[in-house]
Amino acid sequence: MKISSLPEPIYKAACQFGLLELRTKFFYKKITDGVSSDIYYIKTENNKEFCIKRALRKLAVKEDWFAPINRSNFEAEYFKECKKIIPSSFPKLLGHDSKKYILALEWFKPEQYSLWKKKLLNNKINVNDATQVSKILNKKHAFFFNKKNYEKKFSNDKTFHDIRIEPYILFTSQSYPEYKNKFLQAADNLMLNKKTLIHGDFSPKNILTGRNSAVILDAETACWGDPAFDLAFCNNHIILKSFLNPKIKNKYINLSKQFITNYIDNLNWEEKDLFTKRFFQLLPLLILARVDGKSPVEYFTEKEKVITRSFALEILNKNQCNINNFISTWDKYVKK
């Protein structure tokens, strides 16, 4: 196995964490998924495997998009706290440099875990995945709900604003001036309904599915926030993929329905009607954001963008949206 040269800060951090030694031979590979961090997979000559990541000040997208670099410190705390609740569903923190914003994490073998995003794109739709993931999300939200000591620890509003509210809500509103008030109201609601610890980037690209458990990754946007955001953010990704694969739209619809209903059926820390209202007010805005925001999905043609916009705007125009009329509208727009 050849000796490879990592960027010096990454290499020094790995040595500081006791994961590498000066004479250790190792192989590394840069992981290119994602836009917010430099991430490396490392395997030593002794078959020790781990990943190590460093947050970027400027995110790797076309638009100018900056975020506080200390967000990796919140990510480290998120994994430490969440692993206490559901040990099998969060990676073990192997090292953390809070001044250089570098952390090392447990590596999950691809032969044992699959990235949920890839499964969804490759038509491998399994409702058990949705059940598993929604249970993790619900249990985590319930555990931290209204615990003020965690609210202070995860006061990460600046990152959430810069990575979520500004690029997804405020930036996208510029393309829809007639709906600007709805975008602004959604942004306000996210700040007014901070109730528990949220992930902030809870999406299939950050979720591994295994035989016995799902694993949640990449928590740089972790903060004290509105739990409706996590549920809407993740289901948005499922919805978008149905427009890419319309022949199996019913599988995506059933998957999302299972995810949403399983979560809400087990919601016991606030009124379900109020939560559901916030969820459906937010969801169409997030759909539009992945077409016209700072981080558009990479797999849509212009035709798919047009259809997706029309669907989101119809949902946005409904006086009251619920799971049934949402799904019937979704079904109407996804053409087989």
Closest CA to 107 of 51, 37, 39: 51
Q: How confident is the model at residue 66 (pLDDT cuts 50, 70, 90)?
A: low
- Model confidence pLDDT, tens digit, residues 272-287: 999 999 999 999 999 9
What mean pLDDT is predicted for residues 87-94? 98
Q: Are 334 and 249 in contact (CB under 8 A)?
A: yes
- Is the pLDDT at 167 greater than 70? The verdict is yes
Three-state DSSP class for 108? coil
Residues in Cβ contact with 273 at an 8 Å cutoff, skipping those fewer than 6 apart: none
**CB count, 10 Å around CB of 52?**
26
What mean pLDDT is predicted for residues 42-61? 85
State the Cα–Cα distance between residues 95 and 105, nearest whole angstrom. 7
Q: How confident is the model at residue 22 (pLDDT cuts 50, 70, 90)?
A: confident
34: left (phi over 0), alpha (psi -120 to 50) or beta: left
Residue with tokens 């289901």, as numbered in its chain: 235
- Is the pLDDT at 60 greater than 70? The verdict is no
What are φ and ψ of residue 82, in 5° steps? -70, -30
pLDDT of residue 268: 94
pLDDT of residue 2: 41
Q: Are 225 and 151 in contact (CB under 8 A)?
A: no
What are φ and ψ of residue 325, in 5° steps? -75, -25
Q: H helices of 195-301, where?
A: 227-244, 249-265, 272-292
For 221, half-sphere exposure in the C-beta direction (CA atoms, 13 angstrom radius) is 23
For domain 113-336, give the CATH superfamily: Aminoglycoside phosphotransferase (APH), C-terminal lobe (3.90.1200.10)
Q: How confident is the model at residue 68 (pLDDT cuts 50, 70, 90)?
A: confident
Sorted by where each begins, the domain ranges of the chain are 1-107, 113-336
Tell me what percent of the residues of the chain surpass a pLDDT of 70: 94
Q: What is the pTM of this model?
A: 0.93
- Model confidence pLDDT, tens digit, residues 264-275: 999 999 999 999
What value does the mean pLDDT of the chain take?
Answer: 92
pLDDT of residue 1: 40
Closest CA to 209 of 232, 226, 233, 234: 234
Q: Give the CATH architecture of domain 1-107.
A: 2-Layer Sandwich (3.30)
Tell me what percent of the residues of the chain surpass a pLDDT of 90: 82
Q: How confident is the model at residue 212 (pLDDT cuts 50, 70, 90)?
A: confident
pLDDT of residue 320: 86
- Is the pLDDT at 3 greater than 50? The verdict is no
What is the DSSP annotation of 11-27? HHHHHHTTS--TT--EE
Q: Are 190 and 88 in contact (CB under 8 A)?
A: no
